[in-house]
Amino acid sequence: MMKTIGVLTSGGDAPGMNAAIRAVVRTAIYNDMKVIGIRRGYNGLIYGDLREMNIASVGDIIHRGGTILHTDRSDEFKTPEGMKKARNIIEIFGIEGVVVLGGDGSFRGALDLSRMGVPTIGIPCTIDNDINCTDYTIGFDTATNTVVDAINKIRDTVTSHQRANVIEVMGRGRGDIALYTGVAGGAEHIIMPEVPFDINDLCKRLIQGKDRGKRSHIIMLAESMFDVNELCKEIEEKTGIETRATVLGHIQRGGSPTVADRILASRMGYHAVQLLKEGIGNRIVCIRNNQIVDCDIEEGLAMQKGFDEELYEMSKVLSI
Ligand code: ADP
């Protein structure tokens, strides 16, 4: 049986990471394992930035955003020298298994650790919901709730002035944040990378809406698709509707995790330790049809996932 495991958070942070760390630490200690907190992502493994954790070190964190272990990106870890240093630290501290909380990039590191003979489990944490082997990632629910809260506020002022507002949200090449918040926030239009964008279609919908007396026009835009200010100018020129831009930015990454994220994080952290306890490594913990399952890291990374087309089509119907 495994006696000592390590846990680290890597890449972009996400609300709910702390709840997952808590679940990992408590489940491991309950099962008589020692847990070492590795700080600053893979850099902590290279530089030996480690600390043994106890039941109390994860007290009072379930409701906090960010990550108490801090996170980082480590280019050194990707080099043979970096890997060698990490291996030394793992041996010196007697770490027999590792739980990695992060996104796709972090899981490539987890795959390297597994190949090195260290059983490693990945837990998907990212607000972008861009990990294909799982229906949802930890942080997505909190981020989308933050965005919807912002939409509600923007709608108040937009309605007062009969304006349009283009709200740019995160997503890293994925439209899930824009789509889910567009539906939940009652947006008139959702611009996301998975769907070809037709500005004339958008403008037609805005004009039709205005003609029937609509006073607010909310347009969701997934990041890195267009210059949001240029887009607003174009919409304004074509429709005559005053159009403002809002870029929500890193507000989406912080905040107290929602109930859904805390429960998902707790379930996934618990499951990760169950796997290590049985000596199983090289897995990503996933949620599919509300069941916590796991899959091979390499297979998980290679998986493809479409977007929810039905939700997108529905959003067009509901926003007429
Ligand atoms: P995320 O996990 O959020 O997708 P990154 O892509 O920035 O974030 O990855 C986080 C870290 O994971 C990187 O800084 C690096 O240390 C490690 N990593 C990323 N890609 C690889 C890789 N191909 N091989 C080994 N480690 C990697």
Task: Average pLDDT across each block of 10 residues of the chain; the chain has 320 residues. List them in order.
Answer: 96 97 98 98 98 97 98 96 97 98 98 97 98 98 98 95 96 98 97 98 95 94 98 98 98 98 99 97 98 98 97 95
Angle subtended at Cα 180 by Cα 174 and Cα 182, rounded to the nearest 5 degrees: 105
Please list, residue by residue across 205-223, b when 16 or more beta carbons sit within 10 angstroms of its beta carbon and e when fewer do.
bbeebbeeebebbbbbbbb
**How far lies 216's CA from each of 16, 167, 246, in Å?**
33, 13, 15
Q: What number of other Cβ atoms are within 10 A of residue 125's Cβ?
A: 31
Query: Quick check: CB of 182 below 6 Å from ligand 1?
Result: no
Catalytic residue among 128, 130, 141, 176: 128
Query: Quick check: CB of 172 below 6 Å from ligand 1?
Result: no
CA 254 to chain centre: 11
Superfamily of domain 141-254: Phosphofructokinase domain (3.40.50.460)
User: What whole-number distance in Å separates Cα of residue 200 and Cα of residue 7?
Assistant: 50
Q: Which CATH class is domain 4-139+257-302?
A: alpha beta
Indicate if 141-254 has the same CATH topology as 4-139+257-302: yes
Distant-in-sequence, close-in-space partners of 308: CB < 8 Å, separation ≥ 6: 179
pLDDT for res 202? 97
User: What whole-number distance in Å separates Cα of residue 22 and Cα of residue 27?
Assistant: 8
Give me 182's structure tokens.
């567009």
Q: Tell me how far the alpha carbon of residue 45 lies from the centroid of ligand 1, in angstroms.
A: 14
Query: Quick check: CB of 122 below 6 Å from ligand 1?
Result: no
Q: Tell me how far the alpha carbon of residue 132 lies from the centroid of ligand 1, in angstroms.
A: 16
Q: Tell me how far the alpha carbon of residue 108 lies from the centroid of ligand 1, in angstroms.
A: 6
**Pocket of ligand 1, candidates 8, 106, 111: which has the most ligand atoms within 8 Å of its Cβ, to mutate?**
106
Least Cα distance to 52 among 34, 27, 26 occurs for 34
Query: Quick check: CB of 44 below 6 Å from ligand 1?
Result: no
Least Cα distance to 58 among 70, 69, 47, 73 occurs for 69
Enumerate the domain spans of the chain: 4-139+257-302, 141-254
User: Residue 45 belongs to what H/E stretch?
Assistant: helix 42-47
User: Do residues 169 and 248 touch, judged by C-beta distance below 8 A?
Assistant: yes
Is 156 annotated in the active site?
A: no
- The secondary structure of residue 3, as a DSSP letter, is -
Predicted TM-score (pTM) of the model is: 0.97
pLDDT for res 191? 98
Interhelix angle 259-277/140-161, rounded to 10 degrees, is: 160
pLDDT for res 320? 86
**Pocket of ligand 1, candidates 13, 77, 113: which has the most ligand atoms within 8 Å of its Cβ, to mutate?**
77
Q: Tell me how far the alpha carbon of residue 113 lies from the centroid of ligand 1, in angstroms.
A: 12
